[in-house]
Every structure is written in structure tokens, then in C-alpha cells.
Amino acid sequence: MYKEGFIEVTGGRVWYQKFDENGNGTPLLVLHGGPGSSCFSLQVLKALSKDRRVILYDQLGCGRSDRPTDKSLWRIERFVEEVGQVREALHLDEVHILGHSWGTTLAAAYALTKTSGINSIIFSSPCLSAPLWEQDQKRNLQKLPVEVQKTIKENGTTDSEEFEAAIEVFAQHFVNRMEKKPEWLEQRPPEYRNDEIYNIMWGPSEFTVLGNLKNFDCTEQLKEITCPTLFSCGRYDEATPETTEYYSNLTPGSTFHVFEKSAHMPYIEESEEFLEVMDDFLKNIDRK
């Protein structure tokens, strides 16, 4: 069964979709990456709906959600509030949360408000420290051809064609390593993205964090997350295995998994294994 609609949140309406094949498992709420992206690429997660409701939504300002012009809305505190409003509207009293990339930043910030009813959190390709993320990208950059490194370092805040080409090389190494991307992914409408949100919250590129998330770092608080957690990433991920495992080690009783053939999008690059790992984790929690 499939349903879609809009939910009123602070600043406007967010668009959501709910997949439900009448499974009895605890619902899964998915928080997409970005900031300023959409849940479009995460459609594969609907396969988990055979055992539970799966809810995806486009955060305010991007995808199919409203696009208010008030720039003061683009801060993590409002997005945290938005998660709670989505849960309330959909009656998600008990919930698993899966965040990907920036979605893990949001998931951690939300969990650290000590809200009730979170049965588990999946941190997929996590960014839980902006300073660590920036350091990791500088190290990743050193693995690329010298000319690519030079272009990115010298043009890190521009929209030049040379910079875009260099970023594409970076993406082929650390974002999605598939030689041929799925046709449905290539059809993602470019207007779903909102670069203004990305620039305000993050900055001009992955390598230059100048936005209001610049000092975000919740590593010291990870010990306060007491629900079951799974940390996962690709072997060649922007969210490096070393840093992802570091986060996992800071979180009591967490599980850590690396997808050996993937970069930042293992849910597409190794979708079968990704779904299997997620399904096993969620079912184990539901049994307890």
C-alpha cells in the first residue's frame, strides 16, 4: 500500500510518502542527505516495507516540499523540530530512524533532545562532526590526480567548469563508483535540489565548511545515545570507514558495517547487501 501527502511543519509543508505492505514491524522513518537534497535517491528503501511501514519525506525547502524564502528557517534546530512534527502527524509513537549523510547529523541532533519512542538509529555514511568531515575530504582529495587536487584547492568556492569537472572525478571515487548509474537515478529532476540551503548550512563545497553547521560536532555526546545503533559506510566513502568506526566506538553497544564495493551510496551501489543488513538489524531490534 502506498500513500503520499503533505504535513504542516514550521515554515511550510513537507511532502511525504508512506510504503506499507501490512508488516507488523516498528515503522522506519528515513532522513535524507543534503542539506537541501531530497529523498528521491532513497526509493530503494521501500523494499523494507514488506515488514514495516517505511516513511520518506523531502525536508522543507527541497524536493516536492514547499520552498519558503525565509532564510532563517535553514538551521538545524528547525529541522530537528520538523522531524518531531512529521512523527506526530503520522502517529509514529515508536519508530526506527535511518539517516543518510546530513540525515545522520539530523538524526543525532534529534535523538539528543532525549525524545521518547526511538527504538533504534541507523547512521548511514555519517557526518557527526563537520570539522572531521572537512579533514577527511582533504585526505580523500590527496588520493586523486594532482591536477584534480590543484583545481579543487584553487577553485574551491567557484562554479567554474573546471571545478565542476574536478568535482565529478571526486564523486566517481567517493560518492558513487558505479560505471553505469541506474536509469531511474539519472532521471532525478535537478530542481529537487536547493543549493541555497546547502550554501547557508554547509558552504560552497564538500571541502569548505563555512555555513552554520561549521562547528557542529556531537562526538562528545554520542555516549548519551542509548538506543541500539548501526553505523555503516562504503569502503571508499566520503564518510570514511575510519571516522565511521570512531563514531561507532563512542556509542554504547553500537554495530559497525562496511560495504566493501561502495562509496557514499551503498544503498544503490550494493543495494541487495544494504537492504539485507538493514533488514536484519531492524528485525533483531523488533524481536527484543
Cite the active site residues.
Answer: 101, 237, 264
Q: Select from 61, 108, 279, 265 the least CA-distant residue to 173.
A: 265
CA distance 97 to 94: 10
Q: Residue 11 — left, alpha, or beta (φ > 0 → left; ψ -120 to 50 → alpha)?
A: left
CA distance 267 to 170: 19
For 254, other C-beta atoms within 10 Å of its C-beta total: 19
3-state SS, residue 126? coil
3-state SS, residue 215? coil
Residue type for position 256:
F
| Total residue count of the chain as it appears in this document | 288
Question: What residue spans of 175-255 are helical by DSSP H?
Answer: 183-186, 195-201, 241-250
Question: What residue spans of 155-240 are helical by DSSP H?
Answer: 161-174, 183-186, 195-201
Distances (CA, A) of 248 to 33, 60, 232, 239: 19, 29, 9, 13
CA distance 5 to 270: 30
Strand 12-19 with 52-57, pairing? antiparallel
Paired strand residues for 121: 97, 229
